[in-house]
Amino acid sequence: MDAAGLFRQMARARAFEDATSALWREGRISGEMHLGTGEEAVAAGVVASLRPGDAVALDHRPTPVLTVLGVDLAGMLAEMLGMESGIHRGRAGHMHLMSRTLLASSSGIVGSSAPLGAGFALAGRALRPGSVAVAFFGDGAMNQGMLLETLNLAAAWSLPLLLVCKDNGWSITTRTDAVTGGDPVARARGFGLETVDVDGGDVGAVAEAAADAIDRARNGEGPSFLRARVPRLDGHFLGDALVRAARSPAGDGRQLLGDVTSAALSRTGGGLGDRARSVVRLLDLMRRARREDRDTRHDPLERARSTVGQEVASRLEAEALAEVGRAVAAAGGAH
Ligand SMILES: Cc1ncc(C[n+]2csc(CCOP(=O)(O)OP(=O)(O)O)c2C)c(N)n1
Ligand SMILES: [Mg+2]
């Protein structure tokens, strides 16, 4: 797929995430909302190499990949709005979206997309020779036992599987490197998988790396592990306190710090050292969140815009906005 084609898919995915965000902020979607804003280059770059008969297993940020794959946008939005017209009659919400026809499935259980993907790959090898499966998950999932077991089985059974780690450096409010031994890529290599490490904000680089890995899987040459570093543009979930603090240090930031400091001063449980450390830790997290939030060069869509040129980008973004706008109206989400 050419640069414009990849950009078009990224723009569609971003427009869908933005529309979901707007509906959530209006109070129309209940519960937590994890968006994949910032993961569009990974979604577009990997899906570009998929064909009918391939399968994808997704995590709690499934919508960019599902949008690029071609799942009905109005049906997904209606699902999130809890309507009978949703693709799962309004009962699944955003973390359990799936498509039987497109062989796509998601789950909010961190790490579970890996064994799910391995199951898809195993079934695909038997039922649809030449097909592949892709599992998408975050860096936090790399420490889940079932994911590590999957790395092992995928290599031992030479499954036609691509494991894609969308590494945003965070697991909710924990910096993933603070709870991770060694390097995730080296870990996957240790199990015998082919590995590749790419800038997940560079759609061309993702597309190229994924194409190689998927080709190998199709040809029976076994599984691969692709680590793509991505930004987390909307925080862990919409309304994330760290993002609010980052965007408004004098308002939400001061309030959050004040709340944690007074809790640390007044709480009876825990030693003084622990309580002081929790305030220092919060300050560190707020500093990192602010730095990431300010750094707009990290926005993959912004970067892709300069690759295709402003004129083409504007046209494709306008088309994407119109398409998603129609889906919002069809879902009954428009005012
Ligand atoms: C098995 C399991 N443990 C904990 C959680 C709670 N939880 C939801 S998202 C998340 C962080 C996951 O981090 P990562 O895999 O890096 O994904 P990210 O949110 O950063 O995209 C956790 C711990 C969960 N959903 N499932
Ligand atoms: Mg993460």
Give me the residue label for tokens 């999932």.
141
Measuring CA to CA, which residue among 168, 174, 149, 169 is closest to residue 159?
Answer: 149
What is the per-residue pLDDT across 153-170, written as a single tens digit (0 to 9) for each?
999 999 999 999 999 999
Q: Which residues line ligand 1 (CB under 6 A)?
A: 60-61, 108-110, 137-141, 168, 170-172, 176, 236
The larger pLDDT score, comparing residue 274 to residue 188, is at 188
- Taking CA atoms only, the protein residue closest to ligand 1 atom 3 is 110
What is the enclosing helix (H) or strand (E) of 315?
helix 310-331
Of the listed ligands, the closest to the CA of 147 is: 1
CA 171 to ligand 2 center in whole angstroms: 5
What is the per-residue pLDDT across 200-214, written as a single tens digit (0 to 9) for each?
999 999 999 999 999
Torsion of CA 128, 149, 154, 126, to 10 degrees: -20
CA 126 to ligand 2 center in whole angstroms: 33
Question: Going edge to edge, which strands form the sheet with 224-229?
Answer: 98-99, 104-106, 55-58, 133-138, 161-167, 224-229, 194-199
Q: Average the pLDDT over 210-227 and give the result.
A: 98
**Domain covering 3-233+309-331, topology:** Rossmann fold (3.40.50)
So what's the pLDDT on residue 270?
81
Q: What angle do CA 221, 53, 64 make, to 5 degrees?
A: 95
Q: Average the pLDDT over 8-31 and give the result.
A: 97
Among 63, 164, 171, 173, the mutation site with the greatest number of ligand 1 atoms within 8 A of its Cβ is 171
> Residue 176 CA: which ligand 1 atom is closest?
16
Listed by start position, the domains of the chain span 3-233+309-331, 241-294
Among 110, 136, 288, 292, the mutation site with the greatest number of ligand 1 atoms within 8 A of its Cβ is 110
For residue 268, pLDDT beyond 80? no
> Residue 110 CA: which ligand 1 atom is closest?
26
Averaged pLDDT score across all residues of the chain: 95
For residue 267, pLDDT beyond 90? no
Give the predicted TM-score (pTM) of the model.
Answer: 0.95
What is the per-residue pLDDT across 31-56, written as a single tens digit (0 to 9) for each?
999 999 999 999 999 999 999 999 99
So what's the pLDDT on residue 80?
96
- Within a 13 Å sphere around the CA of 63, how many CA atoms are in the beta-carbon half? 28
For residue 335, pLDDT beyond 80? no
For residue 263, pLDDT beyond 90? no
For residue 328, pLDDT beyond 80? yes
